[in-house]
Amino acid sequence: MTTVNLKYYAQLREQAGGGSEQVVTSANSLRELYDELRHRHGFTLPAEALKVAVNEQFSDWSHRLSDGDTVVFIPPVAGG
């Protein structure tokens, strides 16, 4: 099991009920983690619509998680 720190913004923040959390996960990759979180929080955005960063570096969805990672899911930005 891996412990990761998560940060959420915009729509994901609303759906998760907060801007951050720490989770213990059996996920090995960012995609597996996001799938787990979609199930837990009911996230409606597909992974393909998001950017993801690990420890302040943009990453691809196959990135392997390490204990203590900080993961940020970044939804699309809408402006007006």
pLDDT of the chain, 80 residues: tens digit per residue: 999 999 999 999 999 999 999 999 999 999 999 999 999 999 999 999 999 999 999 999 999 999 999 999 998 876 54
Give the bridge partners for 8, in sequence order: 73
Q: What is the pLDDT of residue 78?
A: 62
Segments making up each domain of the chain, as ranges: 2-74
Q: What is the spatial distance between Cα 19 and Cα 78, in angstroms, rounded to a whole number?
A: 19
CATH of domain 2-74: 3.10.20.30
Q: What is the pLDDT of residue 77?
A: 74
The secondary structure of 9-43 as a DSSP string is -HHHHHHHTSSEEEEEE---BHHHHHHHHHHHH--
